[in-house]
Chain A
Amino acid sequence: MANLIPIYYLGKKHMVPEGVTIMGAIESSGHRLVRGCGCRGGFCGACATVFRVPGDHRIMVGLACQTRVEAGMDVAILPYYPAQKTIYDCNAVENPAGALQLMYPEMYRCLGCSACTKICPQDLPVMDIIAAAQRGNLPAVAELSFDCVMCGLCASRCLAQMVPYNIAMAARRIYSHFMLPRPDYVGDRIREIKEGVYDRQIDDLLEKGPEELQKLYAERDIECI
């Protein structure tokens, strides 16, 4: 039996096994999560959690599924935080570099306080991302924000009341749509398929029994790593 340590979940004390995640601790004390729990693997941002630990004045954050409990920790999961999002059509954006400015003018109200960067459980440089967005530097926003799980914590702290993760989301899509390469061979392959170039080859395979397929499979050449 593991050592038990006290934590406070929504202000109520529970004795939980040492070393488990916050999510594991909440469940081990008998709660069945409905909201505030998603992929349980650190990808989905459903379990953004704020907490304090004894002897430290700071508010701290983490994903409940990824953060280990500490003795005396006082935790709350933030299952939802209201966010504004501008509706747009990625295909119809006219001026990619100026798009964010029109969609999210509130980003120019950034006070440079860095609360967003400090709170990001993914350790993303959120304030720098917004600075890049203000300059219309889509490639920088896209690269810097790529690991964003859209948990909403940055929006909860922003003094300028913006939603950094939705700004970054739009930036990545517009960047990808207008600035990433579109190799010709993708279109060529689609055209070949439409023209029926592979139909006979594959219809022949549909006729074959397992033994013939097995032979083709065993004899296929494999590209090197």
Chain B
Amino acid sequence: MAYPSHFDETLNLVKDTRRFRKKQEMKRLADAERRDLIESYHPDYRAEGMELLRIGSNRGDRVPGELAKALESYSIFEAGRLNLSAPDYITDILIVGGGGAGCAAALTAREGGAEVLMATKLRLGDANTLMAEGGMCSPVRPEDSPYLHFIDTIGGGHYTNIPELVKALVMDGPEIASWLMSLGVMFDYEADGSLKVNHCGGHSRKRMLSCKDLTGLELMRVLRDEMRDREIPCLEFSPVVDLLLDEKGSCAGAVLYNMDTAEFTVVKAKAVIMASGGIGRLHIQGFPTTNHYGATADGLVVAYRAGAEMVHMDSIQYHPTGTVWPEQLLGQLITEVMRGHGAHLVNASGERFINELECRDTCASACIRECSERGNGVITPTGFEGVWLDTPLIPDIKNHFVGIYQRFKKYDIDIQQEPILVYPTQHYQNGGLLINQHAETSLPGLFAAGEVAGGIQGKNRLAGNSLLDIFVYGRRAARRALISSSEAAAPEGLSAQHLHSWHEKLKELGIPLTQQAPVLLPDYTPEEVKKEG
């Protein structure tokens, strides 16, 4: 399934303009121009996609409609039917989520001598971390500094980031790189023994460390291996469905749902670290997503109704370059590093329309403008639309982007010769549970790390900054949880009482009892099949 023949004309235009474009200088936008572009075209600014929260500590905040529905939902179990006085597991630290942040937290907590239990929705390591292609930013080079990384991150986040969180991010960066090396992660190196560093949108220095174009896979499989070597227990296929509080109102455990046996599991813990990941599989505003099957915002749902506060949840990141064709790969990520290596964004006529190293929200908005108002998109046989990512401009593509090369080769598209058709795809939740620099949420006893946490990246995350933040805050959460759990006595009076008052409020709002969350997995059964059933 190479490209359909009616693409020939535009493909030829892309080819013919390549030589000219290579010399073409694309100016970066001034702040005001950038703001105008984003406010006119970014999905976060579409009024019809957003709703005001009617309940909870962020009442009145504007969030995507799909998230509002999940947050304004009933628990999926009847609290009265669980025996909370006889927990199935008792541990020091419960870690919810088996991705990069969860594993970093678990390993760090274990290093510190705590008893750790991990629970995760699918298998250990099934997480967005594993899907990251490009790399992890860390200011390690002599030409770089934490100061520059701070300015890039906070500028990229449009000055909405919580500054103390950015400070921790950039100051811990080098230690994280070193920790991962010591665990045996195969980063890329230059022939002279220096670390290979990539450029990417919004960064003023080359600071992205990579493991070919499978950085997340390499990080995740090393961490998973280390989890097994440290023999840290992990309950797989056991997502969290609610948190439990003690008599003082602190977080003191969780209810898990065993998806294999349809049973509920009660865990009592002195501290809970939420590292449950993102939101993509709620398909915000109908967008396809780069996210993992299990990314259904569970952590936000359960922490919010237990009283934790959120920040920046009106802000979703759409990655500018999600795959549009072949349709089997719809929404899947094409790493930003391809643009860092010189690939242009090009419209149907072969014209560039944005500096490719602008931030993600800017590039995504420009792609949407090209396909909507300007009518310069390329339309597929089934009605999707996109612009070209001109990959033949990249030297040595087969070596550096082996994963992407192979993926398209299966569909008879040689990305050394032909560009890739792309359109923005939901990629990341910029906001999340509000944390401080110790990864503490506003609910005592509950910590958050990774994509579920917010405030670090502000309203626009730079490439390579989330692979860093999961480790920085995973380790910070564990270190702080170690202190609090070693001082604390075992929690008393485990309860799910907070759900009663939550449910009462939902009833007052007239929300039907069938509206339950977390949804745990998306439902991809076609409507017509359900009707037949």
Residues of A within 8 A of B (CB): 19-21, 24, 27-35, 37-44, 46, 66, 68, 85, 87-91, 122-123, 142, 146-147, 149-150, 169-170, 172-177, 180-183, 185-190, 193, 198, 201-202, 205-206, 210, 213-214, 216-218, 220-223, 225
Contact yes or no, B342 A225, CB < 8 A:
yes
Distance, CA A149 to CA B341, complexed state (A): 25
Digit string of B164-182 for contact with A (CB within 8 Å is 1, else 0)? 1001001100110110011
Across the A-B interface, how many residue pairs have beta carbons closer than 8 Å? 207
Contact yes or no, B183 A173, CB < 8 A:
yes
Which residues of chain B are within 8 angstroms of A46 by Cβ–Cβ distance?
A: 122-123, 126
Which residues of chain B are within 8 angstroms of A223 by Cβ–Cβ distance?
A: 143, 199, 204-206
Which residues of chain B are within 8 angstroms of A187 by Cβ–Cβ distance?
A: 178
Partner of B131, one of A43, A185, A206: A43
**Which of B78-86, B187-195, B479-487 sits within the interface?**
B187-195
B20 at the binding interface (Cβ < 8 Å): no
Within 8 A of A (CB), among B141-155: 141-143, 145-148, 150-152, 154-155
Chain A residue, CB-CB nearest to B193: A181
Distance, CA A28 to CA B333, complexed state (A): 23
**Which of B64-72, B402-410, B506-514 sits within the interface?**
B402-410
Distance, CA A138 to CA B220, complexed state (A): 20
Residues of B within 8 A of A (CB): 1, 31, 122-123, 125-126, 130-131, 139-143, 145-148, 150-152, 154-155, 159, 163-164, 167, 170-171, 174-175, 177-178, 181-187, 189, 193-195, 199, 204-206, 211-212, 214, 216-218, 221-222, 225-226, 228-229, 231, 237, 259-260, 290, 292-293, 327-329, 332-333, 340-342, 357, 402-403, 406-407, 410, 521, 523-526, 529-530, 533
List 22 interface pairs A-B (beta carbons < 8 Å), by A numbering. Answer: A35-B237, A37-B293, A43-B214, A46-B122, A66-B410, A172-B184, A180-B186, A180-B187, A181-B193, A183-B140, A183-B193, A185-B140, A186-B178, A186-B195, A189-B174, A190-B175, A190-B178, A202-B147, A214-B155, A214-B159, A216-B155, A221-B204
Chain B residue, CB-CB nearest to A217: B155
Contact yes or no, A198 B171, CB < 8 A:
yes
Which residues of chain A are within 8 angstroms of B182 by Cβ–Cβ distance?
A: 90-91, 177
- 9 more contacts with CB within 8 A, not counting A39-B293, A146-B218, A188-B142, are A41-B290, A44-B126, A142-B186, A146-B214, A185-B142, A185-B194, A186-B181, A205-B147, A225-B340
Distance, CA A141 to CA B508, complexed state (A): 62
Contact yes or no, A213 B159, CB < 8 A:
yes
Which residues of chain B are within 8 angstroms of A201 by Cβ–Cβ distance?
A: 145, 147
Partner of A28, one of B142, B328, B526: B526
Contact yes or no, B237 A173, CB < 8 A:
no
Distance, CA A89 to CA B226, complexed state (A): 8
Minimal beta-carbon separation of B379 from chain A (angstroms): 18
Minimal beta-carbon separation of B399 from chain A (angstroms): 11
Contact yes or no, B147 A198, CB < 8 A:
yes
Partner of A173, one of B141, B199, B222, B530: B222
Which residues of chain B are within 8 angstroms of A29 by Cβ–Cβ distance?
A: 529
Distance, CA A176 to CA B184, complexed state (A): 5
Contact yes or no, A44 B125, CB < 8 A:
yes
Distance, CA A187 to CA B140, complexed state (A): 9
Given contacts A24-B328, A225-B342, contact A213 B204 (CB under 8 A): no
Partner of B155, one of A28, A172, A193, A213: A213
Given contacts A32-B521, A34-B259, A169-B225, contact A220 B141 (CB under 8 A): no
Given contacts A39-B293, A181-B193, A220-B204, contact A186 B177 (CB under 8 A): yes
Partner of A43, one of B204, B211, B216, B533: B216
Given contacts A46-B122, A147-B403, A225-B199, contact A190 B328 (CB under 8 A): no
Contact yes or no, B189 A180, CB < 8 A:
yes
Contact yes or no, A27 B186, CB < 8 A:
no
Minimal beta-carbon separation of A123 from chain B (angstroms): 8
Contact yes or no, B221 A150, CB < 8 A:
yes
Contact yes or no, A39 B131, CB < 8 A:
yes
Minimal beta-carbon separation of B461 from chain A (angstroms): 16
Given contacts A187-B178, A201-B147, A223-B205, contact A30 B533 (CB under 8 A): yes
Contact yes or no, A186 B521, CB < 8 A:
no
Distance, CA A24 to CA B403, complexed state (A): 21
Contact yes or no, B139 A189, CB < 8 A:
yes
Which residues of chain A are within 8 angstroms of B225 by Cβ–Cβ distance?
A: 85, 169-170, 173
Partner of A38, one of B126, B187, B193: B126
Contact yes or no, A42 B130, CB < 8 A:
no
Minimal beta-carbon separation of A42 from chain B (angstroms): 6
Distance, CA A92 to CA B393, complexed state (A): 45
Distance, CA A39 to CA B217, complexed state (A): 11
Which residues of chain A are within 8 angstroms of B229 by Cβ–Cβ distance?
A: 87-90
Contact yes or no, B221 A169, CB < 8 A:
yes
Distance, CA A180 to CA B345, complexed state (A): 35
Distance, CA A37 to CA B211, complexed state (A): 24
Chain B residue, CB-CB nearest to A66: B410
Which residues of chain B are within 8 angstroms of A147 by Cβ–Cβ distance?
A: 214, 402-403, 406
Distance, CA A224 to CA B237, complexed state (A): 46
Minimal beta-carbon separation of A120 from chain B (angstroms): 12
Chain B residue, CB-CB nearest to A169: B225
Minimal beta-carbon separation of A146 from chain B (angstroms): 6
Distance, CA A164 to CA B133, complexed state (A): 24
